[in-house]
Amino acid sequence: MFRPLLFIASLFIASLCAFAADAVTLRVARNELPATLGNPYAAAGQPGFGVWSAIFDGLTQIDIQGNVVPSLAQSWSLVNPTTWRFQLRPGVLFHNGRPLAARDVVAMIEYLQSPRGKRWYLATEAAGIASARAVSDGEVEIVTAKPDAILLKRLAALMIVDSDLWAADEDKFALMPVGTGAWRVIDWGRARGRAEFAAFGQGWRKASQITRLEIVPLPETTTRLAALKSGQVDIAEGMSPEDMDDLEGLPLIRATVRSTQVMAIALPNVDRPNSVLQDKRVRQALNYGVNRAAIAREILRDRSRIAAVGCSDVSFGCDPNLAPYPYDPERAKALLAEAGYPNGFAITADVVTGFGESDQLIYQQVAADLTKIGVRLTVRAVPYPTWLQRYLQNQWGDADAFSLAWDSSAYADAIRALKYYSCEKSNPFFCAPELMPALEASDQIMDVEQRRQALYNINLTVKDLAPSLWLVEQPFHYAYTDAIETFKTRPYGVLYEQITFMPGAR
């Protein structure tokens, strides 16, 4: 079986270009490139953040422990409960040589609050900002509508672009983006099968050794594995658990990084007066009706944890002691009978596949489990651009449910996913008005431990509300050649600029 896969990989990658003798090229296989290429506001999590974080920077960033650390802002201060001052890192250049200025930060915030900017996924992160102004070229003042305990985390998700080029033509910018990151785009390479990047030598965040970066989009994990085994790439991202097991005895290294994402199927209750999902007992029954432990054990080879709610304890505010729904089909059937569905019902879910480990197999198993409690789940795969448009507009046609990860990867805080599953979201799909006072209050708790406990309590309530069918955490599985000496990641992907090879390996 391996030879056909190797042949397929060769067709995708063809021959790799030979660069200058002193160039050190890192070749990476991942499932796909961002759907919007160099537009960093269209999505969060993978596959976008892993690439965008190489090209762009936010004012802040989140380290591997989930802490807020400086990025384009070297320091900040809270002037009063709603006013923040950020001092920009001096000497930062965009890829085109223009110096970063406070006006670029202001332009980003104002754009995301404009009617045009609000259509993007990350616009919500700027919604609580009342105003932004340039105090000087090197200082920005941001005023929030109310005290915001997680503003510093939100700003890690909002990448700064060259505001002049962005304002001139967003679509053209996406094809040739200009940021301040360690890598500048040479070519997205859709015709040649790989995207190419060059290390930005004048950047504040310099590559340690690698001078060229190639990202090869290979949708199938088996094809990525074949490319890695044959030496055509150095790193394979998004590997499946069975592929990781297949690496035993080979000169390759495996790494599994716990994620802040939880695989889930959203169970909407907004604008659906006749939906079976209006009833909390039905939503709870679906959670009792899926054998998560079996999915984690048999499909994910014990390389993932089952989800209690929509966050993993990697994220701030997620209680590690909160127990998940147990697998209890009898309890599920009893709840369905209480809700008036003793014979079950049929529902349809639109899902995006290829983003999580073995997600197609997991959805199939979910459907198989639910048939045992009388629920006939039809799973329909939809392309990500189609899914994103429907999500932003909350227009799902005849679909009753849809895939949506509880994603805290942008800033590793439980509140992020909670807000997306709340009345606060633009065009909300799930709304529990009784939950909103606690959510809004948590934003204003500046004491770290008090806020942590508040989020624990919110998640306990959310577990009872069951706004989604929680499945498993989505760890990132990486495999790479043993010629790599240094391999580092953050919650949202590989730090390509910090990769180094063994002496003499390149």
The CA distances from residue 455 to 122, 128, 149, 187, 449, in Å, are: 22, 19, 12, 43, 10
Find the CATH number of the domain harbouring 72: 3.90.76.10
pLDDT at 500 over 60: yes
**pLDDT level of residue 4 (50, 70, 90 thresholds):** very low
Q: Are residues 290 and 372 in the same domain?
A: yes
Q: What is the pLDDT of residue 334?
A: 98
In a domain, 436, yes or no: yes
In a domain, 113, yes or no: yes
Q: Are residues 331 and 411 in the same domain?
A: yes
103-112 pLDDT, tens digit each: 999 999 999 9
SS3 of 402, please?
strand
pLDDT at 355 over 70: no
In a domain, 506, yes or no: no
Q: What is the pLDDT of residue 12?
A: 40
For residues 144 and 49, the model is more confident at: 144
In a domain, 176, yes or no: no
pLDDT at 342 over 90: yes
The last residue of a domain, from among 120, 139, 168: 168
Q: Are residues 339 and 207 in the same domain?
A: no
As a whole number, the mean pLDDT across the chain is 89
* Number of residues that this document lists for the chain: 506
Q: 264: which 2 tokens?
A: 């889930």
Q: Which of 131-145, 196-210, 417-431 has maximum average pLDDT?
A: 131-145
25-44 pLDDT, tens digit each: 999 999 888 888 999 998 77
For residues 233 and 255, the model is more confident at: 233
216-251 pLDDT, tens digit each: 999 888 899 899 999 999 999 988 777 777 777 788
The last residue of a domain, from among 102, 137, 168: 168
Give, rounded to a whole angstrom, the gap between the first and last alpha carbons of the chain. 31
In a domain, 303, yes or no: yes
**pLDDT level of residue 409 (50, 70, 90 thresholds):** low
Compute CA 126 distance to the chain's CA centroid, rounded to the nearest angstrom: 18
SS3 of 392, please?
helix
In a domain, 174, yes or no: no
Mean pLDDT on 330-348 = 97
In a domain, 361, yes or no: yes
Q: What is the 3-state secondary structure (H, E, C) of 422-450?
A: CCCCCCCCCCCHHHHHHHHHHCCCCCHHH
Q: Are residues 418 and 269 in the same domain?
A: yes
Mean pLDDT on 384-406 = 90
pLDDT at 373 over 60: yes
Q: Are residues 292 and 412 in the same domain?
A: yes
164-175 pLDDT, tens digit each: 999 999 999 999
Q: What is the pLDDT of residue 31?
A: 86
pLDDT at 73 over 80: yes
For residues 356 and 264, the model is more confident at: 264
pLDDT at 66 over 80: no
Q: How many domains does the chain have?
A: 3
Q: What is the pLDDT of residue 473?
A: 85
Q: Are residues 41 and 142 in the same domain?
A: no
Q: Are residues 140 and 192 in the same domain?
A: no
Q: Are residues 493 and 382 in the same domain?
A: no
Q: Are residues 309 and 407 in the same domain?
A: yes
The CA distances from residue 207 to 90, 179, 200, 497, in Å, are: 19, 15, 8, 4
Lowest mean pLDDT among 4-8, 21-25, 193-197, 325-329: 4-8
Mean pLDDT on 353-372 = 88
Find the CATH number of the domain harbouring 319: 3.10.105.10
Q: Are residues 266 and 382 in the same domain?
A: yes
In a domain, 428, yes or no: yes
pLDDT at 15 over 70: no
pLDDT at 97 over 90: yes
Which H or E run contains 201?
Answer: none
pLDDT at 475 over 80: no
Find the CATH number of the domain harbouring 207: 3.40.190.10
pLDDT at 290 over 70: yes
Q: Which domain holds residue 157?
A: 57-168
Q: Are residues 160 and 297 in the same domain?
A: no
Q: Are residues 64 and 129 in the same domain?
A: yes
295-327 pLDDT, tens digit each: 998 888 877 788 888 888 778 888 999 999 999
pLDDT at 6 over 90: no
Counting runs of H as helices and runs of E as strands, what totals does the chain give? 16, 23
The CA distance from 158 to 40, in Å, is 8
pLDDT at 160 over 70: yes
The last residue of a domain, from among 146, 168, 190: 168
Q: What is the pLDDT of residue 171?
A: 93
**pLDDT level of residue 10 (50, 70, 90 thresholds):** very low
Q: 275: which 2 tokens?
A: 């939906």
